[in-house]
Every structure is written in C-alpha cells, then in structure tokens.
Homo-oligomer: A and B are copies of this chain.
C-alpha cells in the first residue's frame, strides 16, 4: 500500500543514528548547492537552505556552525570528486602533448561550474568564518590530491620536474579561479558586456583555459 518498505530509507524526524545524521547533512549540502547554482553565495540564505529541506533554520546550524562552513564543506566534496575524476583521466596512456593535457583539464571542468565558482570564493570568503580545524582539514585534502596529480602529470609529460609539476598546478589553479570570475559575471555586467566593443573583456572559460594551459606547457617544454 502506502508502505515504503522497498523504498530507500527515509530520514526520521530526529536523526539519531550516525547514518541518518550523515544523510541529513548530505540533504543540507544538496539544498545549498541547488540554491547556489541558481543564484550566488550572498543570495543564498540559511533560512532558504532550511526551508528547502523542510527543516527549521536553527537545525542547519546544528550541522554547520556557520554559513561559510556549510559552503566550504560543499567545496570540499566537489573538489575531492573533481580531483578523482581528473586523476582517473590522467592515468590513461603514455606520453601526452601539452595540448592534450590542457584539453583534458579544461574539459574536466565542463559542467563543474559550481565547483569552480566555489573555488574562486575559497580564499576570499569561505575561509573567513571557519574554524582552524576545518580550514586545515580542507587544505590537507587539497594537498593529497595535488600530490597525486603532480605525480600523474610527470608521467604524461616527462619534461616536468617535481617542482615544475607542482608549480604548474598552482598556476592552473590561479587560472581556473581567475578565468571563472572573468567568465561568469554579475547580471549587471552581463548586460554591459554584450556590447560589441566589449569583446576583449568577454571570456569563454573552457576555450581560454585550454589556450592558457597549452601556452604554459609550450613554455615549460621549450625551456
């Protein structure tokens, strides 16, 4: 009948088991993500996040001490997922060309706007109102993924040294956040940028990132 025996477990009103708490946490992260995708960090209100999950505002603060902590946790998830995806792709094949690598990286970011948008906020906003512990945990995780990626990069591009590989990742990180900010602009600016003579200020994220990384790698190889 109306029984949900076969359906996947529904979270009880009070999440007491760790497993239910985790599920509720996920629910909140999903809500935050959906709202952020539709608007911006500033426009997402904690009350909205609560409403979207059918919970009260106070409850959100039982799971995340601050708004920034909530979004940093979200970024943490997205970052780990993205690195895993990228590292998976970097595991295939032998030696690559710089352009191949650049395309792989740029294409791995298609459909990951949420990730790059949040990444651009990481230093400026998200790490402002957060405990040292959470900041440390986040950076620790970045460090691990970065190490793996650096190793894989050296396999694909033998002209890279351990130092240049890590530096390359930093530069790509900078380009990702910088270009993301230039590419998706505020509604006000969008209107302005449609003017024809504004072309030099318009940025196609994927194309531009591919171009920049390719050029960087040309430069490193030409050393």
Kindly supply a per-residue 1/0 record for chain A positions 195-223, scoring 1 wherever the CB is within 8 Å of any chain B CB and 0 otherwise. Answer: 00110110100001001101111111111
A17 at interface, CB cutoff 8 A: no
A221 to B122 Cα, complex, angstroms = 34
Candidates B131, B170, B182; contact of A123 at CB < 8 Å: B182
Give how many A residues have a beta carbon under 8 Å from the other chain's beta carbons.
59
Q: With an 8 A cutoff between CB atoms, is A143 at the interface?
A: yes
Q: A119–B192 Cα gap in the complex (Å)?
A: 18
Q: Which of A116-169 contact B (CB under 8 A)?
A: 120-125, 127-128, 130-132, 135-136, 139, 142-143, 146-147, 166-167, 169
- In the bound assembly, the distance between CA atoms of A131 and B221 in angstroms comes to 46
Would you give the shortest CB distance from A146 to chain B, in whole angstroms? Answer: 6
A215 touches B216 (CB 8 A): yes
Q: Which of B120, B139, B208 contacts A124 (CB 8 A)?
A: B120
Given A128-B42, A192-B132, the answer on whether A179 and B186 have CB atoms closer than 8 Å is no
- By a beta-carbon cutoff of 8 Å, the part of chain A in contact with chain B is 40, 42, 120-125, 127-128, 130-132, 135-136, 139, 142-143, 146-147, 166-167, 169-171, 173-179, 181-182, 185-186, 188-189, 191-193, 197-198, 200-201, 203, 208, 211-212, 214-223
Q: Which 6 interchain pairs have the tightest Cβ spacing?
A: A174-B178, A218-B219, A219-B219, A178-B178, A215-B219, A222-B222
